[in-house]
Amino acid sequence: MTSPGSRSPCALIWFREDLRLADNPALTAAVASGVPVTALFVLDETTDGFRPLGGASRWWLAQSLKAHGRECAKTGLPFAVRKGPERAVIERAVRECGATRVLWSRRYGEPEATIDADLQRALEESGVAVETLGGRLLHEPDAVRSGSGAPFKVYTAFWRAARAGGPPRAPLPAPSRADVVAGPQLAGDELGDLGLEPRGGPDWARGLRASWTPGEAGARAALDAFLDGGLRGYAAARDRPDLSGTSRLSPHLRFGEISPVQLWHASEAAMAEGSAQARDVEKFRGELGWREFAYHLLAAFPDMARRNAAARFDDFPWRQPEAAELKAWRRGLTGYPIVDAGMRQLWRTGWMHNRVRMITASFLIKDLLVDWRIGEAWFWDTLVDADPANNAVSWQWVAGSGADAAPYFRVFNPVLQGRKFDPSGDYVRTFLPELGEIPTKWIHAPWEAPAEALSAAGVELGRHYPRPIVDHAAARKRALAALAQVSGRVSAPDD
């Protein structure tokens, strides 16, 4: 590539999964340099090794880019979006705007890290300075290591070591319009031409639009709502899908519309003000810690979405699922209400309560004996917060094949889980209106209800709602027998 030439110095900020102005170290450094700043986002769907975004994530990204463009305009920061191979697009943009410096936030997947390293080398060889900064995590992967210098494989040990390093840095303020020296405006592609949103056919994104407000302002509003009502009592309520006990910040974190540093210090302030209890804040921070752990694992083991972390599972006797049973799981028609409510919540809103994610994943893996990668791929396509680290690590956790995973012989009983975490059946009734009149006693096992109760509720099993597609007790025995083939373990609790 050629040198920037004689044009005025310019800094190019390359936005990636950090679509925010506040607490963005790369942006702060670019603005602080005092030279004109130009911003760019690149949608790369052609570079080998990159995993294409799923449909729900593509919809979210489209909305997030629209919102980010508006925020940049308010600040006077020229921003453009281009589609194409990242390296070629960035090199071309450097030439066009005369950039002498390029800044970006670090990424941790293998293909992305390789692209970044190759591009940095090429830019620096042509005389362009490159600065890569953190911002996606509380702690960079190389900053939290075991005594031997190896990455941690056990969450509790990892989080203990991470916490020992002290609290994260203070969040950085968003630059004001007075702070920004505007660089050249790059030509960009129209967002509508990127193919991120559904066109024609059924409007499957209707429920997503009704459920979410993507963008940095939406993230701040979601955080404020959580601090006002959800953080107090979080430790007890977070496992209850029938309650508004979670933050619903995961998609905003996924696309970097808010940072974990901001969340950490916001929870600290809530505790200092007395609006949140220490136990609730610690539980919330523990969830941030699990996200950290997942990214540290991804950095160390980049094949997490494709390969078992525990090699013995390479010989696991997975079943080839029948098309009908896989369709029943995806559409929420398994006959197990807590599973079906979760899968319908996912399809309607692009999100699912975390406790129910574990239940639905366990049902696919243990009750149907289906390879966890099939479920991981479905969640990748349908979740607005489909995260390359969290999604893979969490599916392997349920499967028992990952680092610090739940033991495979732990089998979630969907009826017991429903009764424990949705005791009144409100969550099931929200997403399975056909069971709305079933008495609470039988809401999680309608096949156990007497005929007169079903009739009074207007439910005919097999017509209005399916009978179970598999007997849980028999499926559990089958799963344990399969496990014995790779581990010799045959006893198990039925949770």
pLDDT per residue, tens digit, the chain (495 aa), is: 444 444 578 999 999 999 999 999 999 999 999 999 999 999 999 999 999 999 999 999 999 999 999 999 999 999 999 999 999 999 999 999 999 999 999 999 999 999 999 999 999 999 999 999 999 999 999 999 998 999 999 999 999 999 998 999 999 999 999 999 999 999 999 999 999 998 877 788 999 999 999 999 999 999 999 999 889 999 999 999 999 999 999 999 999 999 999 999 999 999 999 999 999 999 999 999 999 999 999 999 999 999 999 888 999 999 999 999 999 999 999 999 999 999 999 999 999 999 999 999 999 999 999 999 999 999 999 999 999 999 999 999 999 998 877 677 789 999 999 999 999 999 999 999 999 999 999 999 999 999 999 999 999 999 999 999 999 999 999 999 998 888 755 555 677
CB within 8 Å of 304: residues ≥ 6 apart = 297, 298, 389, 392, 393, 396, 402
Which amino acid is residue 388, in one-letter code?
A: P
Confidence (pLDDT) at 3: 44
C-beta of residue 227 within 8 angstroms of C-beta of residue 266? yes
Q: DSSP string of 152-177?
A: P-SHHHHHHHHHHT-SPPPPPPPPPT
Tell the burial category of 324 from Cβ atoms under 10 Å away from its Cβ (0-12, 13-18, 19+).
exposed
Residue showing tokens 């040198």: 3
Question: Are residues 391 and 374 in contact, defined by beta-carbon separation less than 8 angstroms?
Answer: no
Domains of the chain, earliest start first: 10-135 (3.40.50.620), 137-170+215-300 (1.25.40.80), 311-487 (1.10.579.10)
Which tokens belong to 21? 């102005």
Rounded to whole angstroms, the Cα distance separating 471 from 20 reads 48
Give the whole-angstrom CA distance, residue 150 versus residue 313.
Answer: 23
Which helix (H) or strand (E) is 355 found in, with range?
helix 354-362
> Which of these, 362, 316, 396, lies nearest to 476 by C-alpha position?
362
Instruction: Report if pTM > 0.85.
Output: yes
Beta bridge partners of 81: 41
- Residue 41: strand pairing partners: 15, 81
Q: What 3-state DSSP class applies to 249?
A: coil
Give CA–CA dist 93/51, Å, rounded.
24
Is residue 268 classed exposed, middle or buried when 0-12, 13-18 and 19+ CB atoms within 10 A define those classes? middle
Q: Which two tokens stand for residue 194?
A: 């990127």
Residue 4's pLDDT is what? 42
Q: How far apart are CA 211 and CA 488, in angstroms?
A: 46
Type of residue found at 131 = E
> How many Å from the N-terminal Cα to the C-terminal Cα in the chain?
60
- Determine which helix (DSSP H) or strand (DSSP E) holds 325, and give its type and residue range: helix 323-331
**Surface-to-core class of residue 117, CB atoms within 10 Å of its CB (0-12 exposed, 13-18 middle, 19+ buried):** exposed
pLDDT confidence of residue 492: 58
Q: What backbone torsions phi and psi does residue 275 show, to the nearest 5 degrees?
A: -90, -5
Are 151 and 296 contacting, i.e. CB atoms less than 8 angstroms apart?
yes
Q: What is the DSSP string of 67-128?
A: HHHHHHHHHT--EEEEES-HHHHHHHHHHHHTEEEEEEE---SHHHHHHHHHHHHHHHHTT-
How far apart, in whole angstroms, are the C-alpha atoms of residue 430 and residue 242?
A: 9
Q: How many residues does the chain have?
A: 495
Residue 232 CB: number of other CB atoms within 10 A? 17
Residue 411's DSSP bridge partners are 494
Pairing relationship of beta strands 10-15 and 129-133 according to DSSP bridges: unpaired
pLDDT of 5 = 43
Contact assessment for residue 209 and residue 348, using Cβ atoms and an 8 Å cutoff: no
Structure token pair of residue 226: 């959580």
Euclidean distance between CA atoms 383 and 350, whole angstroms? 5
| 157 token code pair | 């040990």
> Computed from CA positions of residues 86, 87, 91, 92, in that sequence, does the dihedral angle turn out positive or negative?
negative
The percent of the chain in helix, strand and coil, each rounded to the nearest 5, is 50, 5, 45
Give the whole-angstrom CA distance, residue 221 versus residue 216. 9
User: In angstroms, what CA-CA distances link 199 with 192, 193, 337?
Assistant: 10, 11, 32
The two structure tokens encoding residue 477: 């025995």
- The dihedrals phi and psi of 128, each to the nearest 5 degrees, come to -100, 125
